[in-house]
């Protein structure tokens, strides 16, 4: 396929297929590095902190948190939405960029999808732990029971159950289906017998047959076609958790697309955070190039700006509506006791990403890394602002209240971060972090050596 | 689909109704029949098997999650007579604790009193109650109850006690040693007779009555004005103009339940009533009554006498006489005088002062206005508060001098509530024989040699004459839980009378009271009838007639006119509506009851005005020392007079039990004497800032309505012109009420509640009643600070206008039972749904605790069990019960009709659905329709002001429907179309706009 | 190489002129045929807005692909550019419409003497001077950018200098950013304020999604006409497939936003919001469902398969249905507020005026197509666009 | 019985070119094994378009119907409850779950169809002709009938520039 010479190569260095295999499999081989051990110790410790917090919550109750009669959700749902949002990048990259024929996705989709799965697992933890009676959590499943009682299909939380489950399963399948050819590669490159047997088992008997390849491509594409609306639906449904209510600051129609945009925004930020470190640590700079980073930064500007427009729309509409409760909710956001959270959100989400309009900044790795962290923080605060600031002063001033997190809540959040990074570190060792077969398929058209191939 | 499972009690009822037609069986056989039927359900089908199979699979989780069974379930081997499982018995009784009086009905389930309700037959309280009366049932199960007679802390038998005490008394009596029997004011005729017998047996014995909330000033004033010490009957229902000088008659002054009933009767604009009384209130500290006034005047507490002098002078001027005036009070009373003058004979002036001179002035004013005989009745007198403070002063002196040889204290706690408790304690050590006849262990019982524990009133017989000719009875609603004995019986025993007190009481009534009741064939029929009713009103008048003489008042004017108003800081000591005098401080319900004004619970504090706070540079919760004696946290109280500060009595108990011990500070230590009388006012108080803060538990932290139309209000004038006034928004909103789906229709019943904001005084009785009826957990101070109180009903209090002199409005808020409930939509497990009778119902055992409903509730009435407050959780050892509400003893108060909620579950007002079901069942068994007013939720039942009306909205003739049809009716936040089943009637203030 | 110079046949022009004449006649009928003035005004607004938006979507198509650096669309870029040439015409018509009484006739908030309490709160925004300022700013920005984008694109083609390519990218970025804001605010101004009590934060994006779907349908239609006339042979199945995917995708996107807005309002059932759908349910229930069927059900079911997106036999009818469907969508947005339930209708004025505007739009667009080669041969990605095939 | 010849290329373009040449000589290529999907190969091998899309559509339609039908059944037949005054058949409320069910069923029916149809699955046996297939080699397989002359085929392959021409037997 012809590619305009104007385009920058997606893979640097004149690689051949074998070199690609070698480069990408390198991080899986040999003993892990010192830094890997340090990382997993740190993240493991964080996960243990989370385990303690989980015990406290289940044994003593939600009272170990900082919630009260007015503020029924705070860090729990903030974290939930934050993690779900992060879990959007992978599928967005794989599905939507695939549908939009963005070839640069091939270098980042594998790790982004893995990150998605881990983030969804972390996200799913919060709706569970936030239940006052976790042990009865199975009530939310529509199973036949002696009381002939079913669930409430009107409840957005129930929709969440379906959405998150479906998303997790479909993402898992999507990721694994994409992984099969690469697992074949790992199998064939493996030296040890056990390793060969394990990857032989995992590779589902992949041989690279043209028939398989063709159908594999079809199924990947249809899965992408299914995953694209799915990814929109998931954060849409998460936004319904708030938007269906009558609480000022929660009930607003812009939430579905605005949440989706915010999710992609935060997801890309997290991918950047991880990959800027990973590409260096794993020597994959030739595959995840500055061009890739720049492209992701462009997505960040777009989604960040959409989110910004949504913030302003909401604010304007609160005034325009003439509804005193709406108006107060937004004035309170900007000037009330939690105004600091609002301004952190505004700064991190609306202002800092605008720096990416400058090519110098969006191609600078350090700057990108810092801004990606800012966005992660900003998006966390966005959810905090929506959840807590809206709740703490709603309709009846008699019930207005304040919220302060407890150590247990901190523990749960840090714990999921620990689990997330632990899983990511294990993933690096167990699976190829870049989709080998997909990179090979674009190597000819978008590799550095393409000019040698195409001399028309 | 076959309908085998009971989806609701509805199904259950339908099934059984047929049988009831066949045989009009009693309740018991009906239940048996029902059980037989359920046993004969059709055999299981395959689908049932699958369901059961699914259930088994989930059983691991279920086993770990099911509610625990009752911890000690012991079936009746032989069923006690008169107890029908699941059916309550009711006993008429009387609550009297030395200050409060209330004729009550006691609800007894399975031998346990579980609820107190007002007795409609009493024409004093007319079914009304207050918070303390409602809470009194919990005192029965006080962990600090004295359980045995004891001597110096070690348990002894009654025989030993009687022998030792009786012997000692005889010995002292023989040598003419001085004995004292210290009691609160005795209003029990038979007990008075017992005491007379006792004093006859021991002639050297002196009977002293001691009132913690003293009315000695009034007694003495009346002695001087009328020649006899007495407290008249006040008739607030007859007064068109009420002027109160610091008399908190809706909260603590003399007979608040009675006055609330009277007051609200004259304040309602329902049932065609077109007029209401006007209430002007002079006070320094913001009180419950003051906050309800149409016009509240800030008056330095210590300036009352000067204002009264000026008022009298102004009135005299209008009457063509002259009287001296005093300068320097900043109060122009001319207008007030004119208004009073216009309402001659229809006005009522009262003062809460315990100063004789001030009461003399009030007498003179009322006399001048011709109120005696109209709004004040001297023939029927209040018989409580008959203690003269000077007698106790003498007693303490005599004790310290060693003159008193024996001291028997019955139901008093001077070591806590006597201002010079230390002197009393020192004196007590010099007394040879000290006996406490107390119910609960307290500071006094801890210091005496013998404790002979008395019954709690729900275990005891007793009689009362609260007002002349208004008799009432107490009867045991439960057998004594502990090894206790009626105090009267102890006295009888020691005075050598072996009679049981019950027999004594019986014969007393046969000899002395029976004759006052015509129309009974025998005493037994009279007795049974009165015992059933709980009250007997003979209609007699006081035997001693009185005549007024103005001399004393003139002397008082001269005395006051000789002094000058001072510009010092005045301290008001007051009894609040919860713990009151502190006698019931060990009651967790009362401790957790937020003050109607400050919304603080679990502590007392120093209320100071915003202006003084600014001057002193203090904010809420900062510590301030009062007079070098007491360090208290500050509450800046809007509406407080600039230099008046206030502290509640009743806190700082040390030796009773959990939770009272150490809660707050004992303000009795600040109290001084004003001549002969205890003074609830201190002038010239010094305040000193101290380092540090002290967190206060406050259930409401924001006090402005933010301009929202939550409480709609108007003036009487505007209301008479247009009944819709203040509620114009509703007319406008009704036009815009568009909906995306048709409103649900309810055939048959549609429950609704209407609340008359004009009647509600904010007394909090409903809050306690609701907690008692619905097993609402007590969570303790820390959890209240964390905003996690559990009350199903709360009274929102907002300030309007100027911070320095705001208007106060109140609104009881409970679940609004919205027909378009935002909470129901969002519960993922369908734990909260709408019943076909319009009730927003909560299935606790289905709830998994996502709190989504609570977030989505615009009224924030849903409560979450954040911790294991009740001990109903699966896990052991994680209970959170700082108030010790889950001890075996305390748990006896639980209402078996209402589930005790486990950790992690949402709960809220159910419209007392258990009461609805009970009454429906009654109507069903009697084969008739439910009557309007038959179902009364606990809150409505408790309300002395009758502010809450409950009934069927589908019945257009029901009272609630009529309220709903009123122009004054509106719904809270109706603009968001939640369609609440609770309506509010606008508040109408009788003020000039 | 094929013929890249488009010449407009006389016959085609005549057809467009006849269509315009039909429009003028039905306008006259509207004015003098006893039709309520409000209804005529509302129809004018509907059509001006509809075709102005199509022009904007044409520009949006060009600019968004320019900044996305996708290559395939370069071969159809000229169609988008040509559509954008309607922006000045539509803009002038819109200004004329407002100035010549349209504003007063159908916008309740302009009757400043009897505003209710809610509208009084909004006066700071809903007042005529500010409205006109915004109108001029929006239209000015759009016209200027449309002009410069077109000019730069032509310059790139003539001179082949890559500096025009980067200028194109800059202009595109500016347009996307400004359009993101102006499209939203203009929809509040011109459409949402017809129901001045009502508000919805999603509204702007909802309108945009509606215009996006119909704009792409129009682009497909024009491309089809060009191909039928024998032009644009370099455009192959793959391009059609991609455009078909857009039509399919944007129809779903529109349905998604429709559902989000409807469901949230339905769910919360707060009167200040439900009033919007209440009126539409009550008086326009037919249109309510037609809207959903034409704009979602039809494109969703008919364009689902790969094949249907690659053949004109399916793509063209669906495009026409979608264009009609979104006309009804706008009808739903405009009529209840502007005309009211009873006075609204569907007849000669509605059909005739639409035909007229379609003619005008066609004439302007096709004339614009004659002004430049139909393919930007010197575009750096043009070759990519030709050598373009997909497997899916 | 079941003899076959394998040969490989090092570049997919050579493979496609070679394939054309081989086919023109009348030699049937049974399969090509490659490290990644080579565009144009399906056409070159004359493979039909996959019918997985239909499976997905059917699965999705069934999922949607089950999802909607179940919700409607629960709310109108099995246990109608009044939630906040909403109608029992609360269609807008049913959309999210219906959609999720459709996606779930579509995805899983398709994935299972793919795995079963291709005999892929956890631990499925793979015939590994050359370990470098998953790395950088493009291997083609030519089935040889028992009576066929393997030599001519090998010749054709050789001419088409294929390497490592080997005759193998299947057991």
Domain assignments of chain C as residue spans, ordered by start: 10-380
> What digits encode the pLDDT tens for the residues B256-290?
999 999 999 999 998 888 899 999 999 999 999 99
- Chosen from C202, C256, C262 to mutate, greatest number of chain A CBs within 10 A: C202
Minimal CA separation from A21 to chain D, in Å? 6
| φ/ψ (deg, to 5) at B713 | -140, 150
- Which residues of chain B neighbour D82 with C-beta distances below 8 Å? 744, 824, 833-836
Q: Which residues of B82-95 are buried (b: 16+ CB within 10 A; e: fewer)?
A: eeeeeebeebbbbb
Q: For residue C2, what pLDDT is reported?
A: 62
A residues 423-442 closer than 8 Å to D (CB): 436-438, 440-441
Q: How confident is the model at residue A19 (pLDDT cuts 50, 70, 90)?
A: confident
Question: In this model, does residue A383 exceed pLDDT 80?
Answer: yes
- DSSP letter at B875 equals S
B residues 827-856 closer than 8 Å to A (CB): 827-830, 846-852, 854-856
Minimal CA separation from A383 to chain B, in Å? 15
Cβ distance of A205 and D53 shorter than 8 Å: no
Chains linked to A by 3 or more Cβ pairs within 8 Å: B, C, D
- Chosen from C257, C259, C310, C387 to mutate, greatest number of chain D CBs within 10 A: C259
- Which residues of chain D neighbour B742 with C-beta distances below 8 Å? 87
Prior bond to B659 cis, omega within 30?
yes
Residue range B439-461: average pLDDT? 94
- Chosen from D37, D41, D92, D95 to mutate, greatest number of chain C CBs within 10 A: D92
Does the interface predicted TM-score (ipTM) exceed 0.90? yes
Q: For residue B714, what pLDDT is reported?
A: 93
Q: For residue B268, what pLDDT is reported?
A: 92
| Rounded CA separation A95/A91 (Å) | 6
Q: How confident is the model at residue C129 (pLDDT cuts 50, 70, 90)?
A: very high
> What digits encode the pLDDT tens for the residues B519-564?
899 999 999 999 999 999 998 998 878 899 999 999 999 999 898 8
**Residues 6 or more apart whose Cβ sits within 8 Å of residue B739:** B820, B977, C269, C271, C274, C278
Q: For residue B61, what pLDDT is reported?
A: 45
Chains linked to C by 3 or more Cβ pairs within 8 Å: A, B, D
Question: In this model, does residue B210 exceed pLDDT 90?
Answer: yes
Contact status of A181 with chain D (Cβ, < 8 Å): yes
Beta bridge partners, B472, equal: B464, B535
Cβ distance of C267 and D39 shorter than 8 Å: no
Residue D86 has its nearest CB partner, among B1, B741, B818, at B741
> What digits encode the pLDDT tens for the residues A126-147?
999 999 999 999 999 999 888 8
| Rounded CA separation B833/D72 (Å) | 18
Please give the residue that has the higher pLDDT: either C152 or B69: C152
Minimal CA separation from B7 to chain D, in Å? 9
Question: In this model, does residue B40 exceed pLDDT 60?
Answer: no
What residue in B sits closest to C268 (Cα-Cα)? B822
Question: In this model, does residue D111 exceed pLDDT 90?
Answer: yes
Residue range C155-174: average pLDDT? 88
Cβ distance of B739 and C269 shorter than 8 Å: yes
| Rounded CA separation B25/B7 (Å) | 25
Mean pLDDT estimate for chain B: 89
Q: Residues A25, A431: contact at Cβ < 8 Å?
A: no
Cβ distance of D87 and B823 shorter than 8 Å: no
Q: For residue B993, what pLDDT is reported?
A: 53
List domains and CATH numbers for chain D: 3-35+133-169 (3.30.70.120), 52-117 (no CATH)
Contact status of A326 with chain D (Cβ, < 8 Å): no
Cβ distance of C275 and B739 shorter than 8 Å: no
Query: Could you tell me the CA-to-CA distances from C217 to A365, B108, D148 in Å, in that order?
Result: 42, 77, 58
| Rounded CA separation D145/A221 (Å) | 37
The CATH class, in words, for A17-447 is mainly alpha
Residue range B489-501: average pLDDT? 93
**Residues 6 or more apart whose Cβ sits within 8 Å of residue A445:** A1, A3, A103
| Rounded CA separation B712/B758 (Å) | 11
Through-space distance between the first and last CA atoms of chain D, rounded to whole angstroms: 9
Residue B834 has its nearest CB partner, among D79, D84, D87, at D84
> What digits encode the pLDDT tens for the residues B565-608?
888 999 999 999 999 999 999 999 999 999 999 999 999 999 99
> What digits encode the pLDDT tens for the residues D44-82?
787 777 788 889 999 999 999 999 999 999 999 999 999
Mean pLDDT estimate for chain C: 90
Please give the residue that has the higher pLDDT: either C112 or A347: A347
List domains and CATH numbers for chain B: 150-214+387-533 (3.40.50.740), 231-270+289-382 (no CATH), 566-698 (2.40.40.20), 713-989 (3.30.70.20)
If you count residue pairs, one on A and one on D, with CB atoms under 8 Å apart, how many are there? 198
Contact status of C10 with chain D (Cβ, < 8 Å): no
> Which H helix or E strand runs over B90?
strand B88-96
Q: For residue B74, what pLDDT is reported?
A: 62
Residue A162 has its nearest CB partner, among D13, D96, D133, at D96
Contact status of C32 with chain D (Cβ, < 8 Å): no
Question: In this model, does residue A371 exceed pLDDT 60?
Answer: yes
Residue A163 has its nearest CB partner, among D50, D81, D96, at D96
> What digits encode the pLDDT tens for the residues B84-105?
778 889 999 999 998 899 999 9
Q: Residues B202, B167: contact at Cβ < 8 Å?
A: no
- DSSP letter at B227 equals S
Q: Is the pTM of this model over 0.95?
A: no
Contact status of C116 with chain B (Cβ, < 8 Å): no
- Which residues of chain C neighbour A310 with C-beta distances below 8 Å? 201
Residue range B132-156: average pLDDT? 94
Question: In this model, does residue B10 exceed pLDDT 70?
Answer: no
- Which residues of chain C neighbour D92 with C-beta distances below 8 Å? 259, 262-263, 266-267
Q: Residues B833, A26: contact at Cβ < 8 Å?
A: no
Q: Residues B895, B773: contact at Cβ < 8 Å?
A: yes
Q: How confident is the model at residue A169 (pLDDT cuts 50, 70, 90)?
A: very high
- Which residues of chain C neighbour A240 with C-beta distances below 8 Å? 263-264
Cβ distance of D92 and C259 shorter than 8 Å: yes
If you count residue pairs, one on B and one on C, with CB atoms under 8 Å apart, how many are there? 34
> What digits encode the pLDDT tens for the residues C231-280?
888 888 888 888 999 999 999 999 999 999 999 999 999 999 999 999 99
Minimal CA separation from C364 to chain A, in Å? 31
| Rounded CA separation B514/A231 (Å) | 86
Q: Which residues of B220-253 are buried (b: 16+ CB within 10 A; e: fewer)?
A: bbbebbbeebbbbbbbbebbbbbbbbbbbbbbbb
Question: In this model, does residue B3 exceed pLDDT 80?
Answer: no
Residue A396 has its nearest CB partner, among B796, B850, B864, at B796
Tokens representing A280?
């260096």
Cβ distance of A324 and B710 shorter than 8 Å: no
C residues 269-288 closer than 8 Å to B (CB): 269-272, 274-275, 277-278, 281
If you count residue pairs, one on A and one on B, with CB atoms under 8 Å apart, how many are there? 203
Q: For residue A259, what pLDDT is reported?
A: 94
> What digits encode the pLDDT tens for the residues D128-161?
777 788 888 888 888 887 777 778 888 888 888 8
Q: For residue B544, what pLDDT is reported?
A: 79
What residue in B sits closest to A154 (Cα-Cα)? B825
Q: For residue B21, what pLDDT is reported?
A: 40
- Which residues of chain C neighbour A253 with C-beta distances below 8 Å? 200-203, 260-261, 264-265
Please give the residue that has the higher pLDDT: either C5 or A404: A404
Q: For residue A173, what pLDDT is reported?
A: 93
Minimal CA separation from B800 to chain C, in Å? 23
Tokens representing B647?
């502290």
Minimal CA separation from A163 to chain B, in Å? 14
What residue in B sits closest to C271 (Cα-Cα)? B738
Question: In this model, does residue A166 exceed pLDDT 60?
Answer: yes
Minimal CA separation from A53 to chain D, in Å? 32
């Amino acid at each position: 396929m012809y590619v305009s010479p104007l385009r920058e190569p997606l893979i640097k260095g004149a690689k051949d297929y074998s070199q690609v295999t070698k480069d990408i499999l390198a991080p899986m081989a040999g003993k892990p590095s010192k830094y890997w051990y340090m990382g997993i110790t740190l993240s493991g410790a964080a996960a243990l902190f989370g385990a303690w917090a989980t015990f406290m919550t289940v044994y003593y109750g939600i009272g170990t948190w900082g919630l009260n009669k007015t503020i029924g959700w705070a860090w729990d749902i903030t974290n939930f939405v934050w993690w779900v949002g992060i879990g959007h990048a992978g599928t967005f990259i794989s599905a939507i960029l695939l549908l939009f024929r963005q070839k640069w996705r091939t270098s980042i989709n594998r790790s982004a999808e893995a990150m998605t799965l881990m983030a969804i697992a972390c996200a799913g933890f919060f709706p569970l732990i936030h239940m006052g009676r976790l042990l009865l959590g199975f009530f939310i499943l529509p199973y036949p029971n002696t009381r002939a009682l079913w669930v409430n299909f009107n409840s957005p939380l129930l929709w969440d159950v379906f959405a998150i489950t479906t998303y997790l399963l479909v993402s898992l399948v999507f990721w694994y289906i994409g992984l099969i050819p690469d697992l074949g590669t790992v199998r064939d490159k493996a030296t040890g017998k056990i390793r060969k047997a394990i990857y032989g088992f995992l590779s589902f008997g992949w041989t690279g047959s043209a028939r398989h390849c063709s159908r594999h491509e079809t199924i990947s594409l249809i899965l992408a076609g299914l995953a694209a609306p799915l990814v929109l639906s998931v954060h849409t449904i998460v936004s319904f958790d708030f938007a269906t209510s009558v609480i000022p600051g929660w009930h607003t129609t812009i939430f579905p697309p605005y949440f989706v945009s915010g999710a992609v925004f935060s997801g890309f930020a997290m991918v950047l955070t991880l990959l800027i470190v990973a590409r260096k640590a794993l020597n994959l700079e030739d595959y995840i190039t500055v061009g890739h980073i720049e492209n992701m930064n462009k997505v960040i500007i777009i989604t960040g700006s959409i989110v910004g427009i949504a913030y302003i729309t909401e604010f304007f509409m609160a005034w325009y509506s003439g509804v005193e409760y709406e108006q107060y909710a937004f004035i309170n956001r900007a000037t009330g006791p939690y105004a600091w959270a609002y301004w952190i959100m505004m700064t991190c989400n609306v202002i800092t990403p605008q720096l990416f309009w400058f090519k110098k900044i969006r191609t600078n790795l350090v700057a990108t890394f810092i801004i990606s962290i800012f966005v992660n923080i900003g998006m966390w605060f966005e959810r905090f602002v929506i959840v807590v600031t809206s709740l703490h002063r709603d309709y009846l001033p008699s019930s207005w209240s304040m919220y302060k997190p407890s150590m247990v809540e901190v523990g749960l959040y840090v714990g999921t971060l620990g689990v997330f990074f632990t899983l990511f570190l294990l993933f690096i060792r167990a699976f190829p972090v870049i989709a080998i077969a997909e990179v090979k398929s674009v190597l000819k058209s978008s590799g550095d050596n393409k000019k040698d191939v195409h001399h028309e | 689909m076959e309908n085998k499972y009971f989806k609701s009690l509805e199904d259950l009822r339908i099934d059984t109704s047929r049988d009831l037609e066949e045989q009009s069986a009693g309740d018991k056989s009906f239940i048996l029949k029902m059980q037989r039927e359920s046993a004969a359900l059709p055999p299981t089908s395959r689908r049932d098997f699958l369901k059961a199979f699914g259930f088994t699979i989930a059983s691991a989780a279920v086993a770990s999650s099911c509610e625990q069974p009752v911890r000690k379930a012991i079936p009746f081997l032989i069923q006690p007579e008169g107890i029908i499982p699941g059916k309550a018995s009711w006993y008429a009784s009387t609550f009297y604790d030395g200050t409060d009086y209330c004729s009550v009905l006691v609800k007894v389930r399975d031998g346990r009193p579980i609820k107190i309700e007002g007795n409609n037959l009493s024409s004093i309280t007319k079914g009304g109650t207050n918070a303390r009366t409602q809470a009194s049932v919990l005192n029965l199960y006080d962990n600090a109850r004295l359980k045995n007679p004891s001597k110096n802390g070690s348990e002894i038998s009654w025989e030993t006690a009687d022998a030792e005490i009786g012997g000692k008394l005889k010995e002292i009596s023989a040598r003419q040693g001085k004995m004292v029997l210290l009691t609160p004011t005795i209003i029990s005729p038979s007990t008075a007779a017992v005491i007379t017998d006792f004093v006859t047996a021991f002639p050297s014995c002196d009977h002293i009555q001691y009132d913690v909330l003293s009315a000695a000033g009034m007694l003495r004033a009346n002695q001087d004005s009328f020649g006899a010490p007495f407290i008249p009957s006040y008739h607030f229902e007859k007064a068109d103009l009420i002027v109160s000088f610091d008399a908190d008659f809706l909260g603590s002054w003399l007979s608040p339940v009675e006055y609330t009933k009277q007051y609200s009767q004259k304040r309602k604009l329902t049932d065609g009533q077109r007029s209401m009384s006007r209430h002007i209130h002079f006070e320094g500290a913001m009180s419950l009554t003051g906050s309800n006034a149409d016009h509240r005047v800030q008056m330095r507490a210590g300036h009352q006498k000067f204002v009264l002098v000026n008022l009298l002078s102004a009135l005299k001027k209008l009457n063509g006489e002259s009287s001296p005036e005093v300068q320097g009070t900043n109060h122009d009373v001319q207008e007030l005088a004119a208004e009073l003058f216009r309402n001659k004979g229809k006005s009522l002036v009262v003062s809460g002062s315990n100063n004789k001179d001030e009461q003399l002035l009030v007498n003179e004013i009322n006399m001048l206005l011709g109120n005696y005989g109209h709004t004040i009745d001297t023939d029927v007198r209040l018989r409580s508060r008959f203690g003269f403070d000077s007698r106790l002063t003498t007693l303490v002196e005599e004790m310290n001098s060693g003159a008193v040889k024996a001291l028997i204290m019955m139901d008093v706690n001077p070591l806590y509530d006597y201002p010079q408790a230390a002197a009393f304690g020192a004196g007590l050590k010099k007394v040879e024989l000290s006996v406490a006849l107390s119910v609960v262990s307290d500071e006094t019982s801890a210091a005496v040699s013998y404790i002979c524990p008395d019954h709690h009133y729900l275990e005891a017989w007793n009689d009362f004459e609260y007002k002349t000719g208004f008799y009432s009875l107490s009867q045991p609603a439960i057998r004594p839980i502990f090894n206790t004995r009626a105090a009267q019986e102890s006295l009888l025993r020691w005075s050598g009378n072996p009679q049981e007190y019950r027999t004594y009481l019986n014969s007393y009534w046969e000899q002395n009271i029976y004759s006052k009741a015509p129309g009974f064939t025998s005493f037994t029929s009279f007795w049974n009838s009165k015992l059933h009713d709980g009250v007997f009103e003979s209609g007699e008048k006081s035997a001693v007639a009185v005549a007024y003489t103005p001399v004393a008042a003139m002397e008082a004017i001269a005395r006051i006119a000789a002094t000058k108003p001072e510009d010092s800081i005045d301290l008001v000591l007051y009894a609040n509506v919860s713990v009151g005098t502190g006698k019931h401080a060990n009651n967790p319900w009362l401790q957790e009851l937020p003050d109607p004004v400050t919304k603080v619970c679990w502590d007392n504090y120093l209320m100071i005005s915003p202006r003084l706070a600014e001057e002193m540079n203090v904010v809420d919760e900062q510590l301030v020392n009062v007079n070098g004696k007491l360090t208290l946290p500050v509450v800046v109280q809007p509406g407080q007079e600039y230099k008046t500060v206030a502290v509640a009595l009743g806190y700082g108990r040390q030796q009773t039990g959990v939770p009272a011990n150490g809660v707050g500070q004992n303000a009795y230590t600040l109290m001084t004497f004003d001549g002969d009388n205890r003074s609830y006012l201190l002038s010239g108080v010094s305040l000193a800032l101290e380092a540090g803060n002290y967190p206060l538990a406050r259930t409401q932290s924001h006090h402005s309505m933010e301009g929202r139309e939550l409480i709609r209000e108007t003036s009487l004038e505007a209301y008479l012109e247009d009944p819709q006034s203040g509620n114009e928004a509703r007319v406008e909103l009704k036009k815009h009420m568009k909906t995306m789906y048709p409103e649900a229709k309810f055939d048959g019943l549609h429950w609704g509640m209407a609340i008359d904001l004009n009647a509600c005084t904010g007394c909090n009785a409903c809050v306690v009643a609701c907690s008692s009826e619905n097993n609402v957990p007590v969570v303790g101070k820390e959890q209240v600070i964390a905003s996690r109180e559990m009350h199903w009903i709360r009274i929102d209090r907002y300030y309007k206008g100027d911070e320095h002199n705001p208007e106060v409005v109140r609104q009881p808020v409970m679940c609004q039972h919205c027909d378009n409930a935002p909470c129901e939509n969002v519960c993922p497990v369908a734990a909260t749904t709408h019943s076909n009778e319009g009730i927003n119902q909560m299935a606790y055992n289905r709830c998994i605790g996502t709190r989504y409903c609570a977030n989505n509730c615009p009224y924030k009435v849903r409560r979450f069990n954040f911790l294991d407050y009740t001990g109903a959780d699966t896990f052991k050892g994680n209970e959170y019960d700082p108030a010790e509400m889950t001890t075996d003893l305390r748990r006896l108060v639980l209402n078996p009709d209402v589930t005790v909620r486990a950790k992690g579950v949402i709960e809220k007002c159910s419209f007392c659905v258990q009461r609805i079901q009970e009454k429906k069942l009654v109507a069903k068994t009697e084969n008739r329709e439910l009557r309007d007013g038959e179902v009364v939720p606990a809150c409505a039942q408790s309300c002395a002001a009758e502010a809450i009306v409950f009934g069927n909205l589908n019945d257009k003739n029901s009272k609630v429907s009529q309220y709903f049809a009123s122009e004054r009716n509106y719904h809270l936040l109706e603009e968001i179309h939640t369609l609440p089943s609770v309506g509010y009637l606008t508040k109408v203030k009788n003020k000039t706009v | 190489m094929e013929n890249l110079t488009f010449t407009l046949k006389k016959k085609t022009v005549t057809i467009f002129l006849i269509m315009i004449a039909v429009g003028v006649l039905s306008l006259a009928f509207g004015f003098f045929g006893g039709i309520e003035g409000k209804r005529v005004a509302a129809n004018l607004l509907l059509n001006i807005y509809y075709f102005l938006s199509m022009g904007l979507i044409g520009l949006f198509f060009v600019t968004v692909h320019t900044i996305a650096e996708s290559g395939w669309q370069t071969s159809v870029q000229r169609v988008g550019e040509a559509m954008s040439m309607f922006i000045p015409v539509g803009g002038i018509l819109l200004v004329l419409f407002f100035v010549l009484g349209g504003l007063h006739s159908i916008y309740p908030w302009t009757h400043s003497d009897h505003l209710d309490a809610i509208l009084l709160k909004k006066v700071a925004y809903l007042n005529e001077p500010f409205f006109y300022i915004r109108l001029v700013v929006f239209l000015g920005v759009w016209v200027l950018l449309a002009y410069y984008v077109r000019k730069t694109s032509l310059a790139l083609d003539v001179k082949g200098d890559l500096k025009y390519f980067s200028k194109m990218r800059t202009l595109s970025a500016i347009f996307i950013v400004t359009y993101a804001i102006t499209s939203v605010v203009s929809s509040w101004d011109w459409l949402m304020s017809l129901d001045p009590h009502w508000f919805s934060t999603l509204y702007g994006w909802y309108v945009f999604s509606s215009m996006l779907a119909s704009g792409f349908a129009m682009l497909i239609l024009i491309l089809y006409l060009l191909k039928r006339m024998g032009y644009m042979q370099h455009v192959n199945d793959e391009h059609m497939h991609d455009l078909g995917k857009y039509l399919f995708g944007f129809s779903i996107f529109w349905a998604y936003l429709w559902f989000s807005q409807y469901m949230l309002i339905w769910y919360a059932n707060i009167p200040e919001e439900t009033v919007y759908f209440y009126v539409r349910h009550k008086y326009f229930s037919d249109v309510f469902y037609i809207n959903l069927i034409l704009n979602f059900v039809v494109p969703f079911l008919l364009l689902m398969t790969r094949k249907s997106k690659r053949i004109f036999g399916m793509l063209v009818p669906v495009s026409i249905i979608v264009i009609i469907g979104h006309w009804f969508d706008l009808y739903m947005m405009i009529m209840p507020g502007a005309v009211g339930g009873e006075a609204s209708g569907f007849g000669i004025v509605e059909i005739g005026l639409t035909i007229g505007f379609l003619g005008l739009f066609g004439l302007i667009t096709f004339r614009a197509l004659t002004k430049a080669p139909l393919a930007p041969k010197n575009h750096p990605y043009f070759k990519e666009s030709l050598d373009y095939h997909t497997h899916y | 019985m079941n003899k076959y010849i394998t040969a490989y290329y090092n570049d997919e373009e050579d493979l496609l070119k070679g394939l054309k040449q081989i086919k023109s000589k009348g030699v049937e290529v049974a399969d090509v094994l490659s490290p990644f999907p080579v565009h144009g190969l399906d056409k070159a091998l004359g493979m039909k378009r996959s019918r997985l899309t239909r499976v997905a559509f059917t699965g999705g339609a069934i999922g949607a119907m089950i999802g909607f039908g179940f919700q409607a059944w629960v709310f109108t037949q099995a246990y109608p409850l009044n939630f906040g005054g909403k109608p029992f058949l609360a269609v807008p409320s049913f959309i999210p779950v219906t959609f999720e069910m459709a996606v779930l069923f579509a995805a899983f029916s398709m994935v299972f169809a793919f795995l079963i149809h291709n005999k892929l699955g956890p631990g499925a046996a793979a015939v590994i002709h050359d370990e470098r297939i998953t790395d950088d080699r493009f291997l083609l397989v030519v089935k040889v009938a028992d009576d066929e002359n393997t030599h001519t085929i090998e010749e054709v392959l050789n001419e088409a520039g294929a390497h490592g021409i080997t005759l193998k037997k299947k057991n």
